[in-house]
Structure 1
């Protein structure tokens, strides 16, 4: 009889806790949708500051602006964390055309890839050889590649529902294409933009030369999907056509920048840290609203929403706006380095870096025990159509904080439109939906609230197996 009474009492406690948590989450969502600040912040970040290329004046302005806005929230502490970052500049707008006969040309849209060298003065013109993969270079060999521009034309795989899987399946040609093509004597590289949509926007992104000496490096640019298709069709009819492009980009010396950090100090466990963040830098073609202005302002609003909702965190909650995710990850590396030096215990880290689209859920990098706890919260999110809870990758900026026992997570919005804007000139404020952005901020706040309330299971998978 006592056992039955215990079960009934235990069930009542669980029911009461679940109801309380449900009410807290409802209040968070209501506050974000009726009194959110993320969209207002993004408006200023995008339209008054603009693209925030690492090391640029705009990146510096973004640091100043976000620090000032965090200070207005009345947090316990706001500070800047210095970090040295690379400074690559695009220079004058790129120009390119296809030449099918002397004087017969078709202009095409390209943009230099981040980290690329410039073409020689006056531009570069050469015959083109089309390939679908880096591996194909080996098959063709130096005899067929030397002196030509290599055109990497492998599209993102359209039948993959997980668009980041499609991105991962072809981004190697952008990142390492120039480095590999140069080994076979290529004089330049043109890469099909990482984009599932057919349009005229070239998409930039980081690339590497590895340990190639400066004298062996070749210029690399992205071409829009429409013009990639056009170039491929024209090559099928005329193997002797030439491609011309001109770009004046250059890599300068590293400069000092900052991570922007704000904190609410925990009332019970101040030495246990929960962080939420996005990256403050962006590429320069658009204003970086989706990548990653959205993640920045959502993360800022997490702390504001906690305060607005009257939640007094047990653990210290930090917002970290990382610098230099796009072309170096220097900010994330520095933050993790300092945290390790100070012996800070980061139990949970959440990142938003997949655009400001409708939130679908989260992916978690954690032990089975912690993931099972997360699954027990899933019902709390169902009223908001948040159903995606999976183990997997978290985010690039929180990755360096990984330990055997903590939890890393990434917000997972609907990704079907993300690569329409990713690293392109159309990644602008008008492409962000206010309601979707605010739903994301509420979803992140809700998860932070739950991890703060219940903590984590500090036992790693390995230790569970041994025990």
Structure 2
């Protein structure tokens, strides 16, 4: 047998081996995909046919209500969610103490526009979270309308002193990503009073951060910066219809006056809790994957979308794993954060304790964008991990989940940022700001099916990252 024949024979055997390996690898990949498809179907089926998220939300919203940090309702929510997590038979459930601010609204606010002595039109307002009260008899002054802080500076103290500054910059309606529109105008709510004080203003009105025209004022957090308490001025949100009316009347008569009375008060900090439960990992117990939302809410509504939905969806992730019989390789931990709305102290405390304990958080997922139809996720992660995510698109396609983009994650999990994956659930956001921080953020505005789809979508992503693992730097792996 000649030499060339032997070489060709060996090459032929090698090619057959390579072909076999390719076919075998392909078979393994197809089987893995088939297994994942079955698991996702089991997750979605269980959530839609035997879910608990809607029942939990019903109780949080209708039996407890708005859960402002430091309030009695917030205490009730802590107890309720801890009890429900314990009912799931998790490996561990506990409370993590955290000091939170206690701001109270007091009696309902009242306001009117006065075009002439005795000629008044009432308009809906609400105090911004953290604001001081007006004088006991209320506050009445002329109004200066501005769009931004640059315009405020241009007018200067001469034209602002002794007046109420009215910030009337609306959300940018042509932005499809409504959170970008929100980010483009929320500075006037948060820093508006601090800036206006510098020019001698006696009060602040802020157009509600809302895309539609309605009679619902939207509250939210605000800051005075380093301004001494004695120099702080009252700040309130005015409904979008009220803002349109006030702006029109100021154009007709710049001497138009505005009256408002609010009775809010900042009290001493009080102790509250993050509520935490976990399923211990079977293979990597010291690698922690977090799902969470914030348990506190504003007080005007019952906080169903912001963020009762995120709370119950996160709880449901652990329940769905137990119901489907899936045993995670990593420790899966649900964290219900306290005080996202006016301080972020729960998120900061959780990250601080995790660092002190040397815990390795490889993944964190937050739901804090409402209980609407899920569209996908945004990821704060390495390109390597994002490529992994993109390979899972076909698994989510049957559930109409298509949005996978790099970007932000969530406020409460932000302090955990490191060599890990942080991501946020991204529901359809077109109606979110109709309810955000307003009196109509209530249970009847949450669709049961949409809420349950969101819970299943979160669980599916956690399952995939648990199975295929987060790519971490070697130095951080444990």
**1:417-450 C-alpha deviation (Å, 9 max, x unpaired):** 0000000000000000000000000000000111
Question: Of 244, 266, 274, which residue of structure 1 is paired with 2:281?
Answer: 266
Paired position in structure 1 for 2:107: 92
Counterpart Cα distance in 2 of 1:414 and 1:239? 41
Paired position in structure 2 for 1:422: 436
Question: Of 228, 250, 261, which residue of structure 2 is paired with 1:235?
Answer: 250
Classify the secondary structure of the residue corresponding to 2:176. coil
Question: Of 390, 393, 396, which residue of structure 2 is paired with 1:378?
Answer: 393
Is 1:191 equivalent to 2:206 in the alignment?
yes
Paired position in structure 1 for 2:139: 124
Shift of 1:378: 1.1
Shift of 1:391: 0.3
Is 1:138 equivalent to 2:168 in the alignment?
no
Paired position in structure 2 for 1:326: 341
**1:330-382 C-alpha deviation (Å, 9 max, x unpaired):** 00000000101111100000000000000000000000001101111111000
Give the structure with higher Rg (CA).
2
**1:382-437 C-alpha deviation (Å, 9 max, x unpaired):** 0000000000000000000010x200000000000000000000000000000000
Shift of 1:14: 0.4
Is 1:224 equivalent to 2:260 in the alignment?
no
Classify the secondary structure of the residue corresponding to 1:282. coil
Shift of 1:216: 1.5
Shift of 1:135: 1.4
Question: Of 132, 149, 155, which residue of structure 1 is paired with 2:170?
Answer: 155
Counterpart Cα distance in 1 of 2:379 and 2:282? 26
Classify the secondary structure of the residue corresponding to 1:278. strand
Counterpart Cα distance in 1 of 2:324 and 2:212? 40
Paired position in structure 1 for 2:298: 283
Paired position in structure 1 for 2:422: 408
Shift of 1:3: 1.1
Instruction: Give the TM-score taking structure 2 as reference length.
Output: 0.96
Counterpart Cα distance in 2 of 1:458 and 1:280? 30
Paired position in structure 1 for 2:452: 438
Aligned length: 460
Counterpart Cα distance in 1 of 2:219 and 2:162? 24
Counterpart Cα distance in 2 of 1:334 and 1:209? 23
Supply the RMSD in Å over aligned alpha carbons.
0.9
Counterpart Cα distance in 2 of 1:448 and 1:402? 17
Counterpart Cα distance in 2 of 1:13 and 1:121? 74
Counterpart Cα distance in 2 of 1:298 and 1:456? 22
Paired position in structure 2 for 1:453: 467
**1:89-140 C-alpha deviation (Å, 9 max, x unpaired):** 0000000000000000000000000000000110000000100111111110
Counterpart Cα distance in 1 of 2:290 and 2:333? 5
Paired position in structure 2 for 1:369: 384
Counterpart Cα distance in 1 of 2:404 and 2:160? 46
Classify the secondary structure of the residue corresponding to 2:310. helix
Paired position in structure 2 for 1:61: 76
Paired position in structure 1 for 2:312: 297
Counterpart Cα distance in 2 of 1:15 and 1:374? 17
Shift of 1:459: 3.5
Counterpart Cα distance in 2 of 1:361 and 1:100? 49
Paired position in structure 1 for 2:8: none
**1:278-330 C-alpha deviation (Å, 9 max, x unpaired):** 00000000000000000000000000001001100111000000000000000
Counterpart Cα distance in 1 of 2:406 and 2:26? 28
Paired position in structure 1 for 2:10: none
Counterpart Cα distance in 1 of 2:229 and 2:416? 34
Classify the secondary structure of the residue corresponding to 2:293. strand
Counterpart Cα distance in 2 of 1:141 and 1:82? 45
Counterpart Cα distance in 2 of 1:398 and 1:18? 30
Paired position in structure 2 for 1:256: 271
> Which 4+ runs in 1 deviate beyond 3 A?
none
Question: Of 185, 198, 203, which residue of structure 1 is paired with 2:218?
Answer: 203
Counterpart Cα distance in 1 of 2:344 and 2:218? 20
Counterpart Cα distance in 2 of 1:320 and 1:250? 29
Counterpart Cα distance in 2 of 1:341 and 1:227? 49
**1:206-227 C-alpha deviation (Å, 9 max, x unpaired):** 0000001112211000000011
Question: Of 52, 76, 101, which residue of structure 2 is paired with 1:37?
Answer: 52
Classify the secondary structure of the residue corresponding to 2:73. helix
